[in-house]
Amino acid sequence: MRVLHLDAEVGWRGGQQQLFHLAMGLAGSVVAAPLGAPLLAQLSAAGGECLAHPFAGPLGGVLALRRLVARVEPDLVATHSSRAHGVCAAAGVPQVVHRRVDFPPRWTSGWKYAQPLGYVAVSRAVARVLTDAGVPDARVAVVPDGVDPLPWRSAVPRRPISGSGPWILAAGALVPHKGHLHLIDALARLPGWSLVLAGEGPLAPALRAQAVRNGVGERVHLLGWVPDLPALVAACDVFAHPSVEEGLGQVVLEALAAGARVCATRAGGVPEALGADGVLVPPADPAALAAGVLAAARRPRVTAVRWGVDEMVTATRAAYRRFRTGSDASRSAAAGE
């Protein structure tokens, strides 16, 4: 089956990492992403089939997409970002949508969400959001993120800060829904602990200011993007994931694969990712988050791998075939065959 994957983002976050694994594992995959997207560079270096595609401009994205579909002649088009979903819907191209976020669709987007052949939801929590918005159960498949455990299990621990006191690591984009402001508030309740944030994003200045206001400025360390995240995860005393909204939490799965002690919030699909292998606390509750960090620090280290990359690829392939078969049956019925 030849699948054209569309991703309109220019970052390198969980969705792009999962698409990389999917494209490399699913024969017949072609990935289109914006020029300069790290996803294109990663795929090209690994020998994947990929090309640059504009997702902006007056009618440019729509017209270019129609030309691209005519050129690639895919059996199925899969979209992996909201903008790609919108362009595909505007172009009238049948698609399967990968959904990674747990917030409900806007009521003004009803037409956009009614068109796809099906949805691949990253968690049961995301699937519930879709069905609550009116998507039939039969058009939703749950396929969690897959993790390659090797780089996480084999990492050599590296402490990125000086001193011998305990420290918390959080990793992810520095954006409001990731809840880092609540984690800095929690740090004020944890004397002697330090906090390391690995990631980039527009919230960085606000996080620094919040740390100073709370009197913990010297204990908060913003590293930006780090290439050796597994080494940091393997070394931290507690890995924290304080999101207030989260489709699943790929980094939680990766932390478990590294054997980290994890404290996370009950946001979206995070409980599905963490299971009983860590401490869960309510979202947006610094006091509970601080207590959860201390509780996690007392737990033994447990290495857990929920879902591997091969399992993710196999389940996605099955979902694609189901949605495509259903679409073919619907067209045959409409034609009176």
Q: How confident is the model at residue 159 (pLDDT cuts 50, 70, 90)?
A: very high
SS3 50: strand
Averaged pLDDT for residues 14-38 = 96
Instruction: Give CA–CA dist 185/202, Å, rounded.
Output: 19
pLDDT tens per residue across span 30-43: 999 999 999 999 99
pLDDT tens per residue across span 40-72: 999 999 999 999 988 876 556 888 899 999 999
pLDDT of residue 94: 95
Sheet holding 76-79, edge to edge: 50-52, 29-33, 3-6, 76-79, 96-99, 118-121, 140-142
pLDDT of residue 334: 46
Averaged pLDDT for residues 130-151 = 96
Q: How confident is the model at residue 185 (pLDDT cuts 50, 70, 90)?
A: very high
Instruction: Give CA–CA dist 30/20, Å, rounded.
Output: 11
Its pTM stands at 0.92
pLDDT tens per residue across span 193-218: 999 999 999 999 999 999 999 999 99
Cα→Cα distances 202→107, 173, 174, 206, 269, Å: 28, 9, 6, 8, 24
pLDDT of residue 61: 80
Q: How confident is the model at residue 107 (pLDDT cuts 50, 70, 90)?
A: low
Q: Which residue ranges form the domains of the chain, and what is each CATH number?
A: 3-146+309-334 (3.40.50.2000), 150-297 (3.40.50.2000)
The helix, strand and coil proportions of the chain, stated in percent and rounded to the nearest 5, come to: 45, 15, 40
* 151, containing H or E segment: helix 150-153
pLDDT of residue 209: 98
Rounded to the nearest integer, the mean pLDDT of the chain is 93
Instruction: Give CA–CA dist 30/4, Å, rounded.
Output: 5
